[in-house]
Amino acid sequence: MSGSLLHLLPEVADAVAAGDPVVALESTIISHGMPYPTNVAMAREVEQIVRDRGAVPATIAVLDGVAKVGLTSDDLELLATHPDVHKATTRDLPWLLATGRHGATTVAATMRLAARAGVRVFATGGIGGVHRGAGLSFDISADLTEMATVPVAVVSAGVKSILDIGLTLERMETLGIPVIVNGSDDFPSFYSRTSGFPAPRRLDGAEEIAAFLHAAWGPDLGLSCGVSIANPIPAADEIPAAEIHEAIEAALAELDDRGVVGQDVTPFLLANVVERTGGRSLDANLALVRNNAATAADIAVSHARLARR
Ligand code: PSU
Ligand code: MN
């Protein structure tokens, strides 16, 4: 089940072997997406939400050069506090393993390790995509490449408007990534339930989404791609697009001024927006992550039932 540098927590390995529901969780959001100690509290709470809905949580990261699927509470604390945890997308994984470092996995790297471990459903906050100005910078997240190639369902709250949402949807279409919106006709934009773009496909609830995954990956079609499931933030927690707009524009301007590029772009923008909105954007972020964990757990439970037949 696991090689010497890929370790599954026994609880996760047992659940996968039995075909029981498991939900993968990423770690970049812990190390590079939220301030301490909110980040570690969030990581623990989200695992509990997954458990309460009948699935096994598997937070994923690289620790001391070992790719871990399923972490202990101490591992979560390390990821939240250690100064030398590298942000890791898929291409960084061999470097971390070969040199024995710590890495916090992005959506892309988490998907890859989840798939290696046999986990098919994954909850996160927001996915990466096509950055504004990508026509010149070529900055397009490796999350999209991974979703085109690895059969894992990623439950997010859509795409933050730090990105070009329209181009991100175009790119996902080209790459053949199915995009489902749960319970809405509008594609959501993280803090907001709408984005100005329609849902490419709408499904309502975990049962319908699990049936979609089963159709995609089952023996009839045998698709090998991932699935992007956009789950709008609950209405009570939403920040209307007009209210977050100013903070995002200012963060993008500061990004330009400082000349931040490459893998530092997304963490810079995330931290800058939190700073500019005070606690408000962080509260919304926490609410949508909880919501995504609950939805992903429900999908994993329904999908495990279908896949077992
Ligand atoms: N978008 C968010 N919150 C996040 C991220 C993106 O709203 O925490 C993180 C995720 O881990 C995602 C990564 O996979 O940033 C994308 O980074 P990049 O744009 O460098 O590919
Ligand atoms: Mn990038």
DSSP 105: E
Catalytic site residue 68? no
- Domain-wise residue ranges, the chain: 1-119, 126-309
CB 289 within 8 A of CB 42: yes
Query: Matching CATH topology for 1-119 and 126-309?
Result: yes
Q: Ligand 1 pocket, 26 CB below 6 A?
A: yes
Q: Is the pLDDT confidence value at 99 over 50?
A: yes
| Burial of 235 (C-beta count, 10 Å sphere; 0-12/13-18/19+) | exposed
**First-last CA distance in the chain:** 22
What does the pLDDT average to over 259-265? 95
| Three-state SS at 82 | coil
Q: Is the pLDDT confidence value at 309 over 80?
A: no
C-alpha span between 217 and 110 (Å, rounded):
19
C-alpha span between 41 and 62 (Å, rounded):
20
Instruction: At 116, give phi and psi (nearest 5°).
Output: -60, -30
| Burial of 122 (C-beta count, 10 Å sphere; 0-12/13-18/19+) | buried
Catalytic site residue 160? yes
Q: How much distance in Å is there from the Cα of 38 to the middle of ligand 1?
A: 17
Q: How many residues are there in the chain?
A: 309
Q: Give the ligand at the shortest distance from the Cα of 158.
A: 1
CATH number corresponding to 1-119: 3.40.1790.10
Q: How much distance in Å is there from the Cα of 272 to the middle of ligand 2?
A: 16
Q: Which of 68, 87, 160, 238 is catalytic?
A: 160
| Burial of 59 (C-beta count, 10 Å sphere; 0-12/13-18/19+) | buried
Q: Is the pLDDT confidence value at 1 over 90?
A: no
Q: Is the pLDDT confidence value at 2 over 90?
A: no
In this predicted model, what pLDDT tens digit does every residue of 161-171 receive, in sequence order? Answer: 899 999 999 99
Q: Give the ligand at the shortest distance from the Cα of 268.
A: 1
Say which CATH superfamily domain 126-309 falls into: Indigoidine synthase domain (3.40.1790.10)
What does the pLDDT average to over 107-127? 98
Q: Ligand 1 pocket, 162 CB below 6 A?
A: no
CB 59 within 8 A of CB 124: no
